[in-house]
């Protein structure tokens, strides 16, 4: 069962659709993509897949244990696996085979709907409870809205989200039915992260989550905050009062911008902020609330609730860093190498020795972090990048590759460092200016 991963199978099709959206953007001169932002989106997605493999044992076996010990009903997964209560002969003019198919289809459809209901409450609470938002915030940090944003997923959120699906195990949906429905739910949500599609017919918009509905969810306009939490269906938002139709053009991102292209920092920064707030809070009740209150909450001693300002897409200033073509090419080269290497690992994850697998994980995260630092023009990359290159080359020798391959790796590493340090002056010249702080300093 663990070998079935529809997400990995779908990745090439994701990139095909991204290519089509890029062509649409170019043809219509819409500028739907920025290179640094998209690299950051994809880096977060790669990191999410890596940590998903690391954590899957915890999340999968928790569901499996509840299913094996606490399920109420025995529900079939496939027609070829009938359970005791299913008809074994003709009933009401329908053969046993027809009954088997009918029941199994009903099981899968029911699980699909109930999974989306569980996802709705998980998603909604991830916007309303601080420690859950700390994981989910990664998906919202991009200030663009395109198909690469769909792949921008959190690395550690899965450690908390599995519990929302435990009721499915108690009902009796087998792990294979739950997991594949979850993967289908996630795959569906890929295509709704686009500006290329306006709206669908009213009947479709009334039932299903669509690009229009999900653009609202990613908007930081005050009227759009914490709306449209559905995965595949929008009906739960309408039933529970969290639906908002798309009206003015959304401004995307988070109320408090990340202002970084580093995927590792994207995953940990909110945890750091919560911890710092808890330390600064004078009362124990406020220290606990730092993790359990709504995002943006602060005790009155620290300034009270963060305001949600009005925004306008015409005046909103996105975080951006200007690099030379040479340094951009360097970052893109290493990002593509990391992407290809990690995807190759994902395809063969069940056949790679554990030690080598975790080594690949380490270098993937290390490389994505330094690429993000380069895109941010962080000075620490001047020290960390040589370490990364040296470790990569040294590991190639230690793994016992052929002499020719090892020296090719060493040559490429030396060339990379020469290329990188030819651009070192950019890291001393760049200074990030936060627009909000700039406005405050001018007002003072």
User: What is the model's pLDDT at position 434?
Assistant: 59
CA distance 17 to 113: 26
What single-letter DSSP state applies at residue 156? S
User: What is the model's pLDDT at position 217?
Assistant: 98
The average pLDDT across 259-278 equals: 96
Among 308, 307, 280, 277, residue whose Cα is nearest residue 293: 277
- Residues 408, 411, 415, 417: is their CA dihedral positive or negative? positive
Q: Which residues 6+ apart lie within 8 Å of 171 measured at CB?
A: 71, 72, 73, 75, 114
pLDDT digits (tens, 9 = 90+) for 351-410: 888 888 889 999 999 999 999 999 999 999 999 999 999 999 898 888 776 778 878 888
Contact indicator for 294, 306 with CB cutoff of 8 Å: no
CA distance 43 to 186: 18
- For residue 356, give the H/E element and its range: helix 354-375
The average pLDDT across 76-93 equals: 79
pTM for this entry: 0.91
Number of helices and strands (H, E) in the chain? 19, 0
Structure tokens, 198: 């306006």
Instruction: Give 190's pLDDT tier (boundaries 50, 70, 90).
Output: very high
pLDDT digits (tens, 9 = 90+) for 9-63: 898 999 999 999 999 999 999 999 999 999 999 999 999 999 988 887 777 889 9
CA distance 425 to 409: 26
pLDDT digits (tens, 9 = 90+) for 200-257: 999 999 999 999 999 999 999 999 999 999 999 999 999 999 999 999 999 999 999 9
Instruction: Give 437's pLDDT tier (boundaries 50, 70, 90).
Output: low
CA distance 68 to 83: 15
Percent of the chain with pLDDT over 70: 95
- Residues 273, 274, 279, 283: is their CA dihedral positive or negative? positive
For all residues of the chain together, what is the average pLDDT? 91
User: What is the model's pLDDT at position 301?
Assistant: 85
- For residue 157, give the 3-state DSSP assignment: coil
């Amino acid at each position: 069962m663990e070998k079935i991963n529809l997400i990995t199978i779908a990745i090439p099709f994701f990139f095909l659709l991204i290519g089509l959206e890029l062509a649409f953007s170019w043809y219509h001169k819409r500028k739907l993509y920025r290179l640094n932002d998209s690299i950051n989106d994809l880096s977060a997605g790669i990191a999410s897949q890596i940590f998903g493999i690391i954590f899957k044992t915890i999340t999968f076996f928790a569901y499996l244990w509840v299913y094996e010990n606490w399920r109420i009903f025995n529900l079939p997964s496939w027609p070829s696996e009938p359970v005791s209560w299913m008809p074994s002969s003709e009933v009401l003019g329908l053969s046993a085979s027809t009954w088997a198919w009918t029941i199994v289809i009903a099981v899968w459809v029911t699980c699909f709907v109930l999974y989306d209901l569980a996802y709705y409450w998980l998603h909604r609470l991830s916007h309303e409870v601080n420690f859950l938002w700390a994981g989910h915030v990664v998906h919202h940090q991009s200030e663009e809205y395109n198909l690469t944003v769909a792949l921008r997923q959190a690395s550690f959120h899965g450690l908390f989200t599995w519990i929302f699906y435990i009721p499915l195990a108690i009902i009796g949906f087998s792990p294979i039915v739950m997991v594949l429905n979850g993967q289908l739910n996630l795959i569906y949500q890929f295509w709704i992260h686009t500006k290329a599609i306006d709206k669908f017919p009213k009947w479709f918009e009334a039932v299903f989550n669509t690009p229009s509905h999900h653009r609202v969810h990613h908007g930081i306009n005050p009227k759009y905050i914490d709306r449209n939490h559905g995965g595949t269906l929008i009906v739960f938002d309408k039933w529970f009062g969290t639906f908002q139709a798309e009206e003015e053009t959304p401004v995307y991102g988070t109320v408090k911008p990340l202002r970084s292209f580093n995927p590792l920092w994207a995953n940990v920064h909110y945890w750091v902020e919560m911890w710092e707030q808890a330390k600064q809070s004078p009362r124990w009740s406020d220290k606990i609330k730092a993790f359990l209150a709504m995002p943006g909450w602060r005790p009155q001693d620290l300034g009270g609730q963060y305001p949600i300002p009005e925004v306008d897409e015409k005046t909103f200033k996105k975080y951006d860093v200007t690099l030379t073509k040479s340094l951009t090419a360097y970052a893109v080269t290493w990002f593509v190498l990391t992407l290809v290497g990690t995807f190759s690992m994902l395809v063969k994850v069940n056949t790679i020795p554990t030690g080598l697998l975790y080594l690949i994980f380490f270098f993937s995260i290390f490389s994505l972090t330094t690429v993000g630092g380069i895109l941010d023009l962080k000075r620490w990359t001047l020290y960390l990048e040589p370490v990364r290159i040296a470790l990569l080359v040294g590991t190639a020798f230690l793994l016992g590759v052929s002499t020719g391959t090892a020296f090719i790796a060493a040559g490429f590493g030396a060339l990379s460092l020469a290329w990188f340090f030819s651009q070192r002056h950019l890291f001393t010249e760049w200074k990030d200016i936060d627009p909000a702080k700039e406005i405050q300093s001018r007002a003072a």
